[in-house]
Structure 1
């Protein structure tokens, strides 16, 4: 009886099976990234056979079992797609620490977490390193005196740098930088403190022509609009944020306006939507054209072409490519006389993105953009259907644009809030207000003026729309600074367990796609996700991968073993705790005792001593006599005494960061970042 009811429900959804396809394909991709060992060729062969069997079953028994078989086939396809992508993008990864000459060609310029200029180089040459061991693409941050080089796309440069392979997570289960670098083709990261020198200017020809054009446009924009205003304008037109100050970026993030910088769905939608409406209006002015040709479809073609140009101009990163696919799918729907803004179009866009870039599933950009788009299409579709019903309340015409902005900001903010909180451990309490004050300005003034600047620039008048953009950009930056400075502007939340976001996604899909009373089933995953998040427990002790930093949990929050150094790990630990403190504040907490170089901590799971500085290895025996666990920031030269657990630099280089948890026997167990990440292509 239960099986029959289940099959009946599936048959009722047959006309909307495309809407469910991204859920099944994404489940397969998620399974690939969730396993701890890289699937073997035998596993892939079995999955291909399962796909064929499922498709055959769906062909033979289209009713009842057919949709179920297709769903299983999509899950298996997701695993295969993700595995194929991971093998195809693989590049050589530097397997050791390197210090010496580095030569390469600049292909990207941006800024690091520490606000330093950061260069991505390809065609890399390293001293005495053969092709098999040499990373072909590296990313280097420039510190110190760099006045001898004005970086430009296509330049061949030389520098002396510290390089190493991409690091793993700063704590077990944390953000996996190794995986991100693998899929972006980055084989080594590092920094230099000596001047970088120009070897050769950009070569003529079409190689990197788009990158050079982006840089030229960005420089022109900043000449017309100096300071932070021009930096903001360059960021939204070319995607280059390298000129923006850290203070402005932090203010935009704290006010939930950072999405205005990313060339993603909002910008692509505003640009292509403006082009579509403008072209349709211009073509309708010619009676002969309007009566003889499908001007709506011609305008859709113009919008697609403008979006493709914007994609190329912005550098073609994954976020912008995803946004282009989404808007292109909607305009293609217009070409085939289908509704542009529909869940079917969103599902098609999601399937295309996941097929081209399966790794996008685990990135916040994909999750937030599709969550916002799906929620907006569903809510405005529901409002449209209600407006068609007789007796349904309708807002006055003059109030509809304002109401649309309020509803879209509220719905998009609500849909993306749990995702942003999970990835960035931060909630903007006044984000809705900031967006209501800024998004209309972005859509009504800044984006149309940017299009007008592009149109007028060939005749030398592009500076005029840019000048008019200035006050609007200053308004957005001012809103961000005022909102971010308000008391309680942001709140911090701890990092959730791994299953929270998948449950939130399932709940959102159920709420959007299920019919009538069945929609209440969405509460089940939502409630489970909320319970898991509220009951999350953070590790009592965290140890960095170098052994140079230890953090222990106290009633005040996590206490750190030193006030500076390894700032990225320190900041990440505190953010994942949901703790707004900085490293100095965390160091001042009552968690460690002792003198510099020999810090002692008493925690529920163990007594721990952290040895650092010169001669740390010589103090190992004394430390072992007074502690259960000793963390050593250097490589030990003598065996530890019996019964003493020692984590030295050499051990930690193999295990990665370590977390201590209580065990059933009253002691402690070690959880390592390497074990948590598993044996994957990017961890080898």
Structure 2
């Protein structure tokens, strides 16, 4: 036998032995395989035919059945079937949510629809989502529209609203790789966004609104007792609405590492379930005849399941709340069935259910960060639990219990923070350096003061007595707000992180799963894979020039590595800062040169002198001739047609209009270009401009980008 064959046989036998030793953990990889299939669906650059996923799934199942007596064949086909199943679920979900999307900016139009969601905004105004929309336009009429109203005129959920507005299609990403709101809107059923031009006409509809109306009513009651930032945060904790939180407070929560408190997730759901369980069980235990004759523990668990289910619906069922409800519900169901819940299996089944119901959640920060935190916490506690149990049995004093609680808060904050740092960095490019210290103070405040009174406020609200509970809840929220603001002001509190490529995140995730899901020592191989994923940071080079889809906003790389931007709305500037920044502090020179001398501008345009050759940035037709003669690359906000033949690379208004925002890397002899259209691919949410009509030259309202 040749040496390579012998080595291969030894490795195969060794791998088989390790896998057999971990057979109780195989089930944990079910959602991973399904997630791989979902990722493949979102990764392809075209929309595959609807039969592809189902056909591959059927083929894999058929081969698995035929090879069921050969273990390796059966196992391989089973894994491939799970991957194909994930692809199929994502494909069918995309087709299921398909809805008409506005083809082009509408101009002023009068529309009407039913108010499905009403969200107050910080600084005044409100954001309203309208369903069953009707309006007189050519082309498809969106069924669902989101409008920003500058007025605070009360709009009840379920009311029929008529208003004059300007609508645009859901905005495309501001750069290749940036947040894709158009894709998010596709899975939300949103066909347009825009701004209301005046006060609406409101007609009440009997019996409309449902839970959304209840959520809005609860929010108004909270804000009536607790105005300002305290009420906005209290509303977020109870109903999940974060739009009213002032921007500076929201930034403080993010930079201090307390943003997870604003997302209804495991902490809130477990606190609610625990409160309801112990209150119901303790109350029933006061009646000896009931306590001795009936299973009050199971009754308490049933009440807790109902309470957490209502809380999830009240919050609008976001992904963290879904995951938390599923996990909490399984634990409580185990109480009802006199069974012990298996923690990591609980996470796996919760993840699988979420992925089947909403496969698009996989690519969002909520799913990634919440499941990463929970899986890391369970794996960490599996490792330290024997020692903690031994310590608890040997030290029963109250001061030991307080120390154990503080250790738990510190340990949990550290593990969860480390587990979510990479995912937070990938999506938000920020690192909360002092998050562990902030959580040591804020989490106990939330657990002992904020959430108990939040539950009490919901109980007292039908009686009109919610103020009795909201007042002490407000004290706790105010204390947490102060902690967030204080910690965010510490040196280096919110550190900027470089861009991590999607391939690096995928490698890091697979390594993390290997580390967390296995039990034996070979799990440590995952650390090397995680390090390899993180090392891809160094492969990313930010673009030298960026331009938005209208040629309105330009950004160029300065000598010190910053991005100098001429103009643009808040969302564009923030997105460019995260993906291609940091933004330069100096102002764009309207006439003259930048501080490093690379950029020179006049009334007709600008010339950027790069080592790879000059680049002309044209925003006026009068500057075309000079730009084409002086530059090797021309980027124009006006149509060039055939007027520019000399430069190697030409991007004009029509290129920007058809392909979206551009990013350019200037290299000797050429410019490497990435566009939003090329990054998105030919997908149903990547709506290209309607070619029968030229785009409007005027800038759409900045509010439409919200």
TM-score scaled by structure 1? 0.92
Partner of 1:19: 28
Counterpart in the other structure of 1:211:
212
Task: Give CA deviations for 1:317-366 in whole Å, capped at 9, x if unaligned.
Answer: 44433332232233223333333461011111000000101010000000
Correspondences of 1:200-239 after superposition (within 5 Å): 200-201=203-204, 203-205=205-207, 207-239=208-240
**Quick check: 1:465 aligned with 2:469?**
yes
1:88 pairs, out of 73, 91, 96, with 96
CA distance in 1, matches of 2:22, 2:67: 15
Match of 1:282 in 2: 283
Secondary structure of 1:315's match? coil
Structure 1 window deviating more from structure 2 (217-226 vs 437-446): it is 217-226
1:52-451 alignment runs, 5 A limit: 52-56=61-65, 59-61=68-70, 63-101=71-109, 102-110=111-119, 117-129=126-138, 133-143=140-150, 146=151, 149-192=153-196, 194-201=197-204, 203-205=205-207, 207-340=208-341, 342-387=343-388, 396-451=400-455
Judged with a 3 Å threshold, the aligned counterparts in structure 2 of structure 1 residues 570 and 67 are, in CA distance, closer, same or farther, namely: same
Pick closer, same or farther for the CA change 1:430–1:415 going to 2, 3 Å: same
TM-aligned CA deviation for residue 374 of structure 1: 0.8
Cα gap change, 1:64 to 1:333, in 2 (>3 Å): farther
Range 232-241 or range 64-73, more displaced: 64-73
Alpha-carbon distance between aligned partners in 1 of 2:122 and 2:547, rounded to the nearest angstrom: 21
CA contact (8 A) 1:239 1:263 kept: yes
TM-score where L is the length of structure 2: 0.89
RMSD: 2.6
Name the CA shift for 1:421/1:49 in 2 (closer, same or farther; >3 Å): same
Cα deviation, residue 572, structure 1: 1.0
The offset of 1:74, in angstroms, is: 0.8
CA–CA distance in structure 2, aligned partners of residues 284 and 661 of structure 1: 71
How far apart in 1 are the matches of 2:525 and 2:298? 40
Distance 1:589 1:657, change over 3 A: farther
1-structure distance, mates of 2:451, 2:128: 29
Matches within 5 A, 1:41-52: 41=50, 43-52=52-61
Change in CA separation of 1:493 and 1:600 when aligned onto 2, cut-off 3 Å: same
1:671 equivalent in alignment to 2:683: no
Cα gap change, 1:115 to 1:250, in 2 (>3 Å): farther
1:43-71 alpha-carbon deviations (Å, 9 max, x no partner): 3243123332254157444x444433322
> Retained in 1: the 8 A contact 2:253–2:259?
yes
Taking a change above 3 Å as real, the CA distance of residues 115 and 126 of structure 1, as seen in their structure-2 partners, is same
Whether 1:617 aligns to 2:617 is no
Deviation, 1:26, is 0.8
State the distance in 2 between where 1:58 and 1:17 align. 20
Residue of structure 1 in register with 2:697 after alignment: none
Gaps of 5+ in 1: none
Deviation at 1:390, TM superposition (A): 9.5
1:593 is displaced (CA, Å) by: 1.4
Change (3 A) 1:83 1:281: same
Unmatched 5+ residue regions in structure 2?
1-8, 688-706
What's the counterpart of residue 603 of structure 1?
610
Correspondences of 1:554-565 after superposition (within 5 Å): 554-562=558-566, 564-565=567-568
Q: State the distance in 1 between where 2:436 and 2:101 align.
A: 43
Distance in structure 2 (CA, Å) of the matches to 1:94 and 1:265: 38
The answer to whether the Cα contact below 8 Å between 1:256 and 1:435 also exists between their aligned partners in 2 is yes
State the 1:453 CA deviation.
1.8
What secondary structure does 1:548 align onto? coil
Contact 1:504 1:526 in 2 (8 A): yes
Q: Which residue of 2 aligns with 1:478?
A: 482
Distance in 2 (alpha carbons) for counterparts of 1:8 and 1:402:
41
**C-alpha distance in structure 2 between counterparts of 1:234 and 1:397, whole Å:** 33
Distance in 2 of aligned mates of 1:464 and 1:199:
33
Q: Deviations over 1:195-235 (max 9, x none)?
A: 1322413x111x31212211111111122222221221112
1:582-593 residue pairs with structure 2 within 5 A? 584=587, 590=596, 591-593=598-600
Shift of 1:491: 0.5
Find the counterpart in structure 2 of residue 5 from structure 1.
Answer: 14
Structure 1 residue 389, shift from structure 2 partner: 6.2
Q: Would the alpha carbon gap of residues 22 and 460 (structure 1) be closer, same or farther in structure 2, given more than 3 Å must change?
A: same
Number of equivalenced pairs: 670
Partners of 2:406 and 2:519 in 1: CA distance: 30
Q: CA deviation at 1:425?
A: 0.5
